[in-house]
């Protein structure tokens, strides 16, 4: 190989951009209180149960969003309490790395307010989600005061969502309402039904099975009163 060819290869290799790392661990601090933990678990479990047949979304809690190499070096990245990305493959990830996901950013973010984070969540983060990540639906909820607000992105700017008669806010991205139920922020279907957690769904199914068994036993007892053997039917 001639020196000219070697030089050409060296120049070509030098022109190839160095990609930032993609396999990055989340870098988020632990949650502040049990209320925060319980609320975030509800967000995740209920949505996963509601969308248990879907495979084209990613939902995560207390996980870092890395959105550029510059911010990675400066440790200027974001870690929402809960976020959802639509139109992506559903599989576990260590974090959400925007440049490794075809530039996709979250469609929905929910922050759980606390005394130490409320001002940032209402101000700096809201501005960042609007201007940089361009998150379509942004909500915040305070599990202590029950403060609840939501915004949707319209022409690049957040507009406040208006509550319905129940005080719920509609998420166009999730196609679900969000509203307060027993001091927790929960999802509701478009026709107004509470989206259960897997535990609640299992308990409801168990209760229905027990009611059906009791109904069958009452029917069998009535048949015996009429001298009809229910087992012979």
Strands 176-181 and 184-188, sheet pairing: antiparallel
Q: What is the pLDDT of residue 23?
A: 60
pLDDT digits (tens, 9 = 90+) for 59-101: 999 888 988 766 554 455 568 999 999 999 999 999 999 989 9
* Spatial separation of the C-alpha atoms in residues 132 and 80, rounded to whole Å: 14
Strand ranges inside 113-223, DSSP E: 137-141, 148-154, 157-160, 169-171, 176-181, 184-188
Q: What is the pLDDT of residue 232?
A: 75
Residue 185 CA: distances (Å) to CA of 1, 68, 140, 213? 68, 31, 10, 34
Q: What is the pLDDT of residue 71?
A: 55
Beta carbons of 152 and 170 less than 8 angstroms apart: no
* Spatial separation of the C-alpha atoms in residues 135 and 107, rounded to whole Å: 5
Tokens at residue 221, please?
A: 């007892």
pLDDT digits (tens, 9 = 90+) for 51-69: 999 999 999 998 889 887 6
The reported pTM is 0.79
How crowded is residue 49: how many other Cβ atoms within 10 Å of its Cβ? 17
Report residue 28's pLDDT band, with 50, 70 and 90 as the boundaries: very low
Q: What is the pLDDT of residue 68?
A: 76
């Amino acid at each position: 190989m001639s020196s000219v060819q070697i030089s050409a290869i060296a120049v070509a290799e030098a022109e190839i951009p160095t990609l930032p790392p993609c396999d990055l661990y989340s870098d988020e601090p632990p949650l502040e209180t049990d209320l925060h933990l319980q609320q975030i678990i509800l967000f995740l479990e209920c949505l996963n149960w509601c969308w248990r047949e879907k495979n084209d979304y990613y939902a995560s809690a207390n996980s870092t969003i890395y959105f550029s190499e510059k911010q990675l070096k400066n440790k200027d990245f974001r870690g929402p309490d809960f976020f959802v990305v639509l139109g992506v493959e559903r599989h576990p990830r260590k974090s959400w790395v925007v440049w490794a996901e075809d530039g996709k950013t979250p469609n929905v973010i929910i922050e759980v307010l606390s005394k130490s984070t409320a001002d940032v969540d209402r101000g700096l983060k809201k501005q960042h989600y609007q201007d940089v990540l361009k998150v379509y639906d942004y909500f915040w909820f305070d599990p202590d005061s029950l403060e609840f607000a939501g915004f949707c992105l319209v022409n690049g700017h957040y507009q406040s969502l208006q509550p319905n008669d129940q005080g719920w806010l509609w998420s166009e991205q999730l196609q679900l309402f969000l509203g307060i139920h027993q001091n927790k922020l929960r999802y509701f279907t478009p026709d107004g039904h509470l989206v259960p957690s897997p535990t609640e769904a299992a308990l409801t199914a168990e209760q229905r099975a027990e009611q059906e068994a009791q109904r069958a036993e009452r029917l069998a007892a009535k048949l015996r009163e009429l001298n009809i053997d229910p087992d012979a039917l």
